[in-house]
Structure 1
Amino acid sequence: VFNLGQYLCTAQNSFGSDRMVITLAVQTEAPKIQAPKSTEIAVYFGKSVTLDCLASGKPPAQISWILPDRTFVRDYKCIASNAAGADTITYHLHVAALPPSISEGAMDTLGESAKLSCHATGQPTPKIMWISPRNYVISLSSDKFQVMDDGMLLVKKVILADEGKYACVARNSAGDDVKNIKLEAELQEPFINGMKGRSTTKVLAVSYQTALLDCRVEGKPEPRVWWVTPYGHSLPTPYLGGRFQVHRNGSLELRGVRKTDEGGYMCLAKNNLGEASLVVELDVASIAEKPIFAVPNIEILPIKQDGGELILECPARGKPNPEFAWVLPNGTMLKPGVRLQRFTHHLAKGTLHISHPVASDKGVYRCLAKNVAGQAEKRYALESGRKPVIRGSTGMFFHLKLIKQKSP
Structure 2
Amino acid sequence: SLQVDIVPSQGEISVGESKFFLCQVAGEAKFKDISWFSPNGERLSPNQQRISVVRNDDFSSTLTIYNANIDDAGIYKCVVSSQEEGDSEATVNVKIFQKLMFKNAPTPQEFKEGDDAVIVCDVVSSLPPTIIWKHKGRDVILKKDVRFIVLSNNYLQIRGIKKTDEGTYRCEGRILARGEINFKDIQVIVNVPPSVRARQSTMNATANLSQAVTLACDADGFPEPTVTWTKDGEPVEEVEDEDKYSFNYDGSELVIRKVDKSDEAEYICIAENKAGEADATIHLKVFAKPKITYVENKTAMELEDQITLTCEASGDPIPSITWRTSTRNISNEEKASWTRPEKQEV
Which structure carries more relative contact order (alpha carbon 8 Å, separation 6+)?
2
- TM-score norm. by structure 1 comes to 0.31
- TM-score norm. by structure 2 comes to 0.36
